[in-house]
Amino acid sequence: MGRPRPRLERVLLLAAFLALAGCQPGEAPRLVIDAAAIHRQGGAAELRARIDFRPSEVQLDALEHGVPLVLGLTVGGDGAAPPARLNLSLRYFPLSRRYRLRVEPGAQDASFALRGYLFDALDRLRVPLAHDPCVAPGSCRIEVHFDYAALPGALRLPALLRGAWRVPPAHHAVDAS
């Protein structure tokens, strides 16, 4: 009974590796909604939000190599109207050296020369909504989450295991005017 079986050693080694994979040095990503409001004018609704997204160094490195970082955004009320769902895609194009913020659906694009401008655009986000999801006043909320499914297949598993990819969802009450 002296020496453990080699298979058991491999399992323990793999378990230790997976445990350490989640303990990466560096700052964790941050996602906060500072303010959110729906402005109505002439039958149209527009979402105005201040989203503070600070990706980790690992996420920024992926962005710099052309990997899109996608934030899913949901605005919903008390259930009287269906929620509005949007995707905010942050992407860098290395050949043109431009950053892009794309809001879908609607294919609303904004292009920036510097990465800081890309994240500043999230801090003053204005998005027209196809419908007003907040019928009753005071009952509307916004949620923003990092969309792991939008990552390329090779990055999905590391994104689930490494703490540098874990972005907790953000929630905020929406003011309606």
Give 125-155 pLDDT, tens digit per residue.
999 888 888 876 667 899 999 999 999 999 8
Instruction: Give the global pTM.
Output: 0.80
Measured CA to CA, the distance from residue 81 to residue 70 in angstroms comes to: 25
The upper half-sphere exposure of residue 61, i.e. CA atoms within 13 Å in the direction of its Cβ, equals 7
Q: What was the pLDDT predicted at 138?
A: 66
Q: What was the pLDDT predicted at 19?
A: 47
Looking at residues 20-41, what average pLDDT do you find? 77
DSSP 25: S
Using the predicted structure, report yes or no on whether residue 71 has a pLDDT greater than 90. yes
Looking at residues 161-173, what average pLDDT do you find? 90
Categorize the per-residue pLDDT at 58 as very low, low, confident or very high, splitting at 50, 70 and 90. very high
Q: What was the pLDDT predicted at 45?
A: 85
Among 13-22, 31-40, 112-121, where is mean pLDDT lowest? 13-22
pLDDT above 70 as % of the chain: 83
DSSP 34: E
DSSP 139: -
3-state SS class at 156: helix
Angle in degrees, CA 15, 20, 23, rounded to 5: 145
